[in-house]
């Protein structure tokens, strides 16, 4: 269980001046990890820690492999956090840093496997109403964490352009499908959970042991081709409508950094309660998280991006611990660096929708942007960005960095 300690002290300052800026994503209390190198060089990518607008290269600390770091126990990871905190706190000797403006990033670790869950019940209901108005939620949704195995090879780091995919599309009034570029490219507002220490094949773990297997969170945009998706997803689920690209932030915010923002996990009154293997008193006490999440759009005709929606991880119907526990409950062996997406996190209000599919009611109600342009789905040249942060009285605000991508014309 992540615990509060001196590294969460809101009054603690750093000798790195930019880390003391109240608007920074990376104050002394955050200390997220990344894989980086100096831009424009052929240097190997190295494990780094963000502090303000700078990066500390951990090569000199003997940390040269992110996956090996993720495999460490929670106690070892917490000890490293304490050491980093002491290195950066005000009064400590200054060490050499690399400005983030001079760095380029790759994926933060080797992602062996990627599973995308469907934990946003408001998203599930809104999408379900478009296709099944009388019964938007499928019968199993409130009983089992729904997920599918995605493709890890097409996960890209923030800033990587993505080509508009081609696929089979079948209009409702057509006799058969056609193969063409997707005209309904959408975003999905998600967080990604990176697995820390894994479990052996055939050996599940309990809900109260799940925190030991969680390393940290990153922003995640599961791009979707909404006109390809309905034709292909039955009977086996998402396929080419999803695997053409998934964008993540280069930064991993650790579970220890997020400890102040834990909140109780509770189901709405009258809903089915989780089965015993997904429930415990400790889990109900603090398994949810208060993390604000936003969608921003910048078209080629805009000077500044516009915020399309804002939601919160507290709206997730299944917790991060439940995702982990259920995934391993059949003996599946999770491994350090595996990535679990939360699914689209939408809130109950229309302006809290985490996808264009919801915001435009399936394309029926275009969004009008500040410059007068309208969008139902993304056009070529559009830049879509996700942002997230956690804040609470008495604690420093911490953020997740950028998760940006642009859609380019189909090949």
All domains in the chain, ordered by first residue: 6-106 (2.30.30.230), 114-408 (3.90.850.10)
pLDDT per position as a tens digit, 110-121: 999 999 999 999
Q: Are 346 and 136 in contact (CB under 8 A)?
A: no
27: which residues sit within 8 A by CB, 6+ positions away? 14, 19, 20, 21, 52, 396, 397, 398
Residue 17's pLDDT band, with cuts at 50, 70 and 90, is very high
Q: Which pTM does this prediction carry?
A: 0.97
Longest dimension (CA), the chain: 73
Per-residue pLDDT at 310 exceeds 80: yes
pLDDT per position as a tens digit, 195-208: 999 999 999 999 99
Q: Are 162 and 149 in contact (CB under 8 A)?
A: no
Per-residue pLDDT at 1 exceeds 60: no
Predicted pLDDT at 133? 84
Query: How many Å apart are CA 314 and CA 320, to the nearest integer?
Result: 11
Among 123, 213, 283, 327, which one carries the catalytic annotation? 123
Strands 33-38 and 383-390: unpaired
pLDDT per position as a tens digit, 128-151: 988 888 888 999 999 999 999 999
42: which residues sit within 8 A by CB, 6+ positions away? none
Query: How many Å apart are CA 391 and CA 395, to the nearest integer?
Result: 7
Predicted pLDDT at 2? 52
**When comparing pLDDT for 234 and 393, which is higher?**
393
Other C-beta atoms lying within 10 Å of the C-beta of residue 172: 5
Q: Which residues pair with 89 in a beta bridge?
A: 14
C-alpha distances out from residue 34 to 63, 127, 274, 322, Å:
12, 34, 35, 26
pLDDT per position as a tens digit, 57-88: 999 999 999 999 999 999 999 999 999 999 99
pLDDT-above-90 percentage for the chain: 95
123 is catalytic: yes
Other C-beta atoms lying within 10 Å of the C-beta of residue 409: 10
Q: What is the mean pLDDT of the chain?
A: 97
Query: How many Å apart are CA 76 and CA 406, to the nearest integer?
Result: 38
> Do you know the residue count of the chain?
411
**DSSP letter (8 states) at residue 377:** S
Predicted pLDDT at 281? 97
**When comparing pLDDT for 234 and 410, which is higher?**
410
């Amino acid at each position: 269980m992540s615990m509060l300690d001196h590294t969460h002290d809101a009054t603690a300052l750093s000798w790195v001046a930019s880390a003391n800026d109240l608007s920074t994503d990376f104050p002394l209390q955050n200390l997220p990890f990344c894989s980086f190198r100096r831009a424009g060089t052929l240097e190997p990518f190295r494990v780094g820690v963000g502090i303000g607008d700078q990066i500390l290269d951990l090569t000199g600390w003997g940390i040269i492999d992110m996956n090996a770091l993720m495999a460490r126990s929670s106690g070892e990871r917490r000890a490293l956090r304490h050491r980093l905190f002491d290195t950066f706190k005000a009064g400590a000797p200054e060490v050499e840093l690399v400005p983030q403006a001079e760095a380029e990033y790759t994926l933060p670790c080797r992602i062996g496997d990627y599973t995308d869950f469907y934990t946003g019940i408001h998203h599930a209901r809104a999408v379900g109403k478009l296709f099944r108005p009388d019964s938007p939620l499928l019968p199993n949704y409130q009983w089992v964490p729904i997920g599918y195995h995605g493709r890890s090879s097409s996960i890209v780091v923030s800033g990587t352009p993505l080509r508009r995919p081609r696929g089979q599309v079948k209009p409702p009034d057509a006799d058969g499908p056609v193969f063409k570029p997707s005209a309904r490219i959408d975003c999905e507002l998600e967080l990604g959970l990176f697995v820390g220490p894994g479990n052996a094949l055939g050996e599940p773990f309990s809900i109260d042991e799940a925190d030991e297997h969680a390393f940290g969170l990153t922003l995640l945009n599961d791009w979707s081709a909404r006109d390809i998706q309905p034709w292909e997803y039955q009977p086996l689920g998402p396929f080419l409508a999803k695997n053409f690209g998934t964008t993540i932030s280069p930064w991993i915010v650790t579970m220890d950094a997020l400890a102040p923002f834990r909140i109780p996990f509770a189901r709405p009154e009258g809903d089915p309660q989780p089965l015993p293997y997904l429930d415990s008193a400790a889990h109900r006490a603090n398994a949810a998280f208060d993390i604000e999440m936003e969608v921003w759009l910048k078209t080629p005709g805009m000077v500044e991006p516009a915020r399309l929606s804002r939601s919160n991880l507290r709206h997730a119907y299944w917790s991060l611990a439940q995702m982990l526990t259920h995934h391993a409950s059949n003996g599946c062996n999770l491994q350090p660096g595996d990535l679990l997406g939360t699914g689209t996190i939408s809130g109950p209000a229309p302006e809290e929708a985490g996808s264009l599919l919801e915001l435009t009611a399936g394309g029926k109600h275009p969004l009008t942007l500040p410059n007068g342009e309208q969008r139902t789905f993304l056009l070529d040249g559009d830049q879509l960005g996700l942002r997230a942060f956690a804040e609470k009285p008495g604690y420093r605000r911490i953020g997740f960095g950028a998760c940006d991508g642009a859609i380019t014309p189909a090949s």
